[in-house]
A and B are shown apart, each in its own frame.
Chain A
Amino acid sequence: MSVTILIEKCRGCRLCLKACPFDAIKMEDGKAVINYDKCTNCGACEASCRFEAILVEREEKEEVKDLSAYKGVWVFAEQRQGKLMFTSLELLGEGRKLADKLGVELSALLLGSEVDGICEELIHYGADKVIYADHKLLQNYTTDGYTKVITDLINEKKPEIVIVGATNIGRDLAPRIAARLNTGLTADCTKLDIDEEQKILLQTRPAFGGNIMATIVTPKHRPQMATVRPGVMKKMEKDENRKGIVEKVDVKLHDEDIKVKVEEIVKSAKQIVNLVEAQYIVSGGRGLGGPEGFKLMKELADALGGVVGSSRAAVDSGWISHDHQVGQTGKTVRPKVYIACGISGAIQHLAGMQNSDCIIAINKNPDAPIFSVADYGIVGDLYKVVPMLIEEVKKLKEQK
């Protein structure tokens, strides 16, 4: 790309001097002259010139791929130790909707070693086809092994959409694949849809710390890739009569392809906070005033038979560990009852809990945004309200 001033056309009007963000144009003998040390070829001057005296030659972008050659929706079916991740079923449910809107096939992409049993499960939950790469080097996830096999398959079969669960593994894998394919990738989507006219994927995600939602498109590159938040999409009902095809593919993978070795996989000994599957969640925020407030949260959660959640503010303050966090950077939850105590309700938090069946907010500030999503709100001091609530819940349970 280069910028040239056609001296014979230049009238010396100085408009381009003002337009240049880099102070790279000056006047010499009544004509504009470019200082190429400063010029970044941004092209801002071209638009400012009224006499067509500035010529910006742009290198032709590498030929736009034939987008119509890309067909079908793929879902990455993530398994760990031979067990399919729950979020893969959610992706199948969502992938099914996208594929139906486009009128194309939905394929599940399964990598592993001797995990044949999963294939049927994937079909029962919505896949038309399972693309199954079975190899002993694929037994455990490795960035190198999985990236190589998947990019090879994408290059060969050319799907138009590839979606991956935004798990710790999905978020390691998807960017590596997207970079190798030089295509776009949208992280952590909470909503996917198809633009009916252009037949492209609309990828919606919370952005800028959850302050707004953004809909992102990948218009000129294929496949269109997105990672999807676990807990957001709905899985389909299992249908054991669904039929599909299992296509076993050849895997060309060697030990030396894998640069990062898995020495050991350690399961956490400490009890995992199962926010995603909990029926009752009692969450505390900055309004608790300190870490001891979470004892009260725990007491109420125990009385209800639920678990403790928290806002990002409480985690950032060091009052509780990150595995309790609900929201854009934490977990997305949809319990029967969600009780938010001393949580103001930043969009970042709401993004993670607004699909709960029933939301109860307890907050001193009647104007707190949390009340805008709450089914029931109590304006008051949580340190007065919650102990009473604990007592009443216990009473109620004893009666039963």
Chain B
Amino acid sequence: MKIIVCIKQVPDTNEVRIDPKTGTLIREGVPSIINHDDKNALEEVLKLKDKYEDVHVTVLTMGPPQADVALREALAMGADRAILLSDRAFAGSDTWATAKTLTAAVKKIGDYDLIFCGRQAIDGDTAQVGPQLAEDLGIPQITYVTHLEVNGREVKAHRALEDGYEVLTTKMPCLLTAIKELNEPRYPSVRGIFEAYREKQVEVWSAKDIEINLNETGLNSSPTNVRQTFTPSPKGQGMILEGNGRDTVQELLFKLGEKHLI
């Protein structure tokens, strides 16, 4: 079984800076991690690898050269092959263009049975790239996966709803997106880390390598544009009640009572 896991290196969202000219995120110099949901996707696939003998796991990411670190971590966790899509031409892609770029890369990889993504990345929170990639590849999708069973070519998954879940079945090849409830990601072993840096390679592919049409990737090809960014204005200072004793609590409840809020 050949599996591709799409991961994203994301900035620690507490330390974000924005390019005031383009309104896009400045990724350089911000501490980075593998996106949480993506790690759940990788973990689930590694569990399949633990269980079956013929599982081969490729991790794929699009990002700047320093995304190498995220791929090394994925290799250390147990992935077999790592590919970094890195090219200035990809920069500023929205979800449509990102999906097109990943599609081109998946086509170059060739054979696959399963693609696993995280539901959404913590820096964008869109949850769009997974389904858009599935559509561009023309394969079925199951999003918000909380439980997975694989039986030959058959995939059975639980998909989270707001008030329960659905049990869905489909056939490979297909694309799944993982959420936190799916599993608890493993830590890399010491041997894994050693191998990831000493024995395994990260392949770097450019726009040319994946033969993507340049009007399908990057800022200028993206259907959506950021027109403006701003910090939301607070609704205006309220009243800080003096002290923190019982008087204060009583005063608070009195004020709520006045406004018929309690």
Contacts and interface: CB of A to CB of B under 8 A. Distances in A.
A212 B231 contact: yes
A208 B132 contact: no
Given A175-B132, A263-B169, A376 B89 contact: no
A366 B244 CA distance: 12
Contact of A267 (B14, B163, B243): B163
Prevailing SS type, chain A contact patch: mixed
Nearest to B248: A378
Interface residues of B, number: 89
Interface string A38-51: 00111000000000
A215 B228 contact: yes
A88 B116 CA distance: 30
B261 to A, nearest CB: 5
A214 B250 contact: no
Contact of B144 (A172, A261, A336, A377): A172
A376 B254 CA distance: 12
A178 B229 contact: no
A212 B16 CA distance: 9
A251 interface: no
Q: Chain B interface secondary structure, helix, strand, loop or mixed?
A: mixed
A266 B167 contact: yes
Contacts of B206: 40
A371 B236 CA distance: 9
B155 to A, nearest CB: 9
A172 B131 contact: yes
A187 interface: yes
Interface residues of A, number: 94
B52 to A, nearest CB: 23
B226 A216 contact: yes
A214 B226 contact: yes
Interface string A329-368: 1000000110000000011101100100111100000100
Contacts of A182: 96, 223
A264 B89 CA distance: 44
B99 A354 contact: no
Given A171-B143, A175-B128, A216-B225, A42 B169 contact: no
A304 B224 CA distance: 45
Contacts of A82: none
B239 A375 contact: yes
Nearest to B11: A208
Contacts of B259: 358
Interface in B210-262: 213-215, 222-232, 234-235, 237-241, 243-246, 248-250, 252-253, 255-257, 259, 261-262
Given A176-B134, A360-B252, A328 B125 contact: yes
Given A59-B215, A378-B244, A393 B89 contact: no
A208 B25 contact: yes
Given A212-B230, A379-B244, 5 more contacts: A187-B124, A213-B232, A304-B262, A376-B240, A377-B239
Interface of B: 11, 13-14, 16, 18, 23, 25, 87-89, 94-96, 99, 122-132, 134-136, 140-144, 156, 159-171, 174, 180-181, 206-208, 213-215, 222-232, 234-235, 237-241, 243-246, 248-250, 252-253, 255-257, 259, 261-262
